[in-house]
A and B are shown apart, each in its own frame.
Chain A
Amino acid sequence: QLQLQESGPGLVKPSETLSLTCTVSGDSISSNHFYWSWIRQSPRKGLEWIGSVSYSGGTYYNPSLKSRVTMSIGTSHNHFSLRLKSVTAADTAVYFCARGLTTVYFWGQGTLVTVSS
């Protein structure tokens, strides 16, 4: 059964870089043509797509975040990652990793990241 698990620091200081990893079990990132995505949710902005990475490493990013976002895929360890630089309090949210791009078929449980000094 597919499982996605987010991991990373729950607290990040303003101006620093937020780094999260999503570990995939029950499916191989490199064995199909799915995109793997990051989506965040906050009371202020609701659900917001951050971006997606393909099994081959191709990426699509939300234009509003593109200058600060990097996503990568690690097929040897069946995971994919998110880096969001120069964070502010507005980046405080629950971050979900997920399978799918235009349609999000499966989500991780989410991890709360707070930006605060």
Chain B
Amino acid sequence: DIQMTQSPSSLSASIGDRVTITCQASQDISNYLNWYQQKPGKAPKLLIYDASNLEAGVPSRFSGSGSGTHFTFTISSLQRDDIATYFCQQYHNVPPRITFGPGTKVDFK
């Protein structure tokens, strides 16, 4: 099975800061990588799909990049509403199978 790691596991930042989270896959997954945001007590919300595509309605301060085994998620200017835990998720197509990273908790410094 493909294992996903994320770093850091948590971070503290100030409003307006640039925030970067990395996700590493245990083997090449091409661009089969999504990013989700989860706020306490809520379900995850899709932000980025296929490594770098912004889901409709998601603010442009969120972005993703990478391919193969190394991926990056960036918030260009942290806003109060961005305090949440962020998860990466990889997928296989054949057979369909998905696994999530352990998450990165983002809070205020």
Contacts and interface: CB of A to CB of B under 8 A. Distances in A.
Given A62-B97, A101-B98, A102-B32, A47 B49 contact: no
Given A46-B102, A46-B103, A104 B96 contact: no
A47 B42 CA distance: 13
Given A52-B96, A101-B96, A102-B32, A47 B43 contact: no
**Interface range, B side:** 20 to 34
Nearest to A62: B97
A31 interface: no
Interface string A99-117: 0011111111110000000
B15 to A, nearest CB: 28
A9 to B, nearest CB: 20
A101 B55 CA distance: 16
Interface in A17-56: 35, 46-49, 52
A100 to B, nearest CB: 8
Contacts of A107: 43-45
Contact of A47 (B45, B93, B100): B100
Contact of A48 (B32, B42, B44, B100): B100
Contacts of A108: 43
Interface in B82-109: 87, 89, 91-93, 95-103
A101 B92 CA distance: 10
B46 interface: yes
Nearest to B103: A46
19 contacts: A35-B96, A46-B87, A46-B100, A47-B103, A49-B97, A49-B98, A49-B100, A60-B95, A63-B1, A96-B43, A96-B44, A102-B96, A102-B98, A103-B34, A103-B50, A105-B55, A106-B46, A107-B43, A110-B43
Closest CB pairs A-B (n = 3): A107-B43, A102-B91, A47-B100
Interface of A: 35, 46-49, 52, 60, 62-63, 96, 98, 101-110
Interface of B: 1, 32, 34, 36, 42-46, 49-50, 55, 87, 89, 91-93, 95-103
